[in-house]
Structure 1
Amino acid sequence: MKRLTEFLEKNISGQKVLGLFILTNVVYTFMLTVTIPKTMEFANGMKLLDMMPTGYDLNYVSELFTSLGENGRVTYLTNQIPVDMIYPLLFGLSYCLLLGYFLKKLNKLNSPYIYLCLIPIIAGIADYLENFGIITMLKNYPELKETTAYATNIFSVIKSISTSMFFIAFIVVLITLGIKVLNRKTSANKELR
């Protein structure tokens, strides 16, 4: 906990957190508007593995990769995956620091709540492991192994669960901070009367 606190204390200046947040969301927007749609053009309406929060099985992977065809699989491997190798690092770091920034505003940085800052890091690591699984399957297609599909699916589900947990925690922290600010203003107004 001490090392995490020191890391956060050094890096949670408002300017740094805002800059990372903007960069993270520029990359995310690029994926949502450029690389994912470009890859999905080949998918015949099927969702990419990255976009399936509840998971998939070997049959789905096989059907998707067949549907993508050679050009779609190459596009997945050379367009979507390279950008998605940048995003998990940005997501993990940016949202870890963002949560730390708001926890500091609540004076909760030196409490067990600091461990909430690890949730986006877990999501980022799971995203990388998911990507490595997808790369392996794309390169080995049509020879797909059930163990690779199963492991990749687990990392996809861990990514989506931890991402959801982060956003829930983040919303709770923001609401708590909002209540604290409102209470402070109410107290200040009462003292002025």
Structure 2
Amino acid sequence: MENFIKQLEKQHSGKKVLVLFLLTNSVYANMLLVTIPATMEFSNGLQLLDMMPAGYDLEYVNTLFHTLGDTGRQMYLTKQIPVDMMYPLLFGISYAAVLAYFLLKLPKLNSKFLYLCLLPVIAGLADYLENIGIISMLNTYPNVTGSSVNITSIFSVIKSSATSIYFLTLIVVLIVLGLRRMKSNSENFHQ
């Protein structure tokens, strides 16, 4: 944990952060524009489990998997999930770097604030555990258990909660930076 924070403190290159950010979001765009819509063609409008921030229950999972049919479940397992196995690592690293980059621009920063950079890492880990749960449920369907759904759903909620808190944190940091820049520009203008 301490090594992770020390690495973030050394992160001063905006170019590295930008490249990571663009790579991460190109994978995300591929999921949003290609693999998720291709899988949802079989879902009759039902949301995929990855896209349900408040979680789901056994009845929903069974309804979704039944509606997807063999072809849709296979698409979920072999097209969507493999891309989603790349994304959490990229998300965790790049979004931690983005937040660290902007936090380090704040003067007199208490280094404990860098622990907020763990939020996307937590979201990424929860995303991996969610994916593992979805793979397991797809492979055991129609014998999906309530406990496997509950555990996987908990990881979906943790993923979405950590992601939401992360983006709120990033917005606050960007607002603070913007206000400080406006104040500095105003002081320089009046001198």
CA gap 1:73/1:104 in 2 versus in 1, 3 angstroms: same
CA RMSD of aligned residues (A): 1.2
C-alpha spacing 1:9/1:143, structure 2 compared with 1 (3 Å): same
Q: State the match for 1:38 in structure 2.
A: 38
- CA displacement, residues 31-56 of structure 1 (integer Å, 9 cap, x when unaligned): 00000000000001100000001110
- Could you tell me which residue of structure 2 aligns to residue 147 of structure 1? 147
In 2: Cα distance, 1:157 partner to 1:56 partner: 9
Shift of 1:108: 5.5
State the identity %: 59
Give 3-state SS (helix, strand or coil) of 1:105's partner.
coil
Deviations 1:126-151 (A, max 9, x none): 00000000000001111101111000
Partner of 2:65: 65
Q: Which amino acid aligns with 1:131?
A: N
2:53 match: 53
Greater alpha carbon shift after TM alignment, 169-178 vs 107-116: 107-116
Segments of structure 2 that go 5 or more residues without pairing to the other structure are none
- So what's the TM-score if we normalise by structure 2? 0.97
- 1:114 maps to a residue whose letter is L
CA-CA distance at 1:12 after TM superposition: 4.0
Equivalent residues in 2 for 1:41-190, closer than 5 Å: 41-107=41-107, 110-190=110-190
Distance 1:41 1:5 in 2: 42
Secondary structure at the counterpart of residue 86 of structure 1: helix
What's the offset of the Cα at 1:109?
Answer: 5.2
TM-score between both structures, scaled by the size of structure 1: 0.96
Change in Cα spacing, 1:64 to 1:138, as seen in structure 2 (3 Å) is same
The letter for the 1-side match of 2:61 is V
Counterpart Cα distance in 2 of 1:47 and 1:133:
16
Runs of 4+ in 1 over 4 A off after TM superposition: none
> Distance between the aligned counterparts of 1:114 and 1:141, measured in 2?
42
Q: 1:34 to 1:185 in 2, by over 3 A?
A: same
Instruction: Tell me the CA shift for residue 11 of structure 1.
Output: 3.6
Long gaps (5+) in structure 1: none
The 8 Å contact of residues 52 and 156 in structure 1, kept in 2 or not, is answered as yes
Once the two structures are TM-superposed, the CA of residue 5 in structure 1 deviates from its matched residue by 3.1
1-side partners of 2:160 and 2:93: how far apart? 17
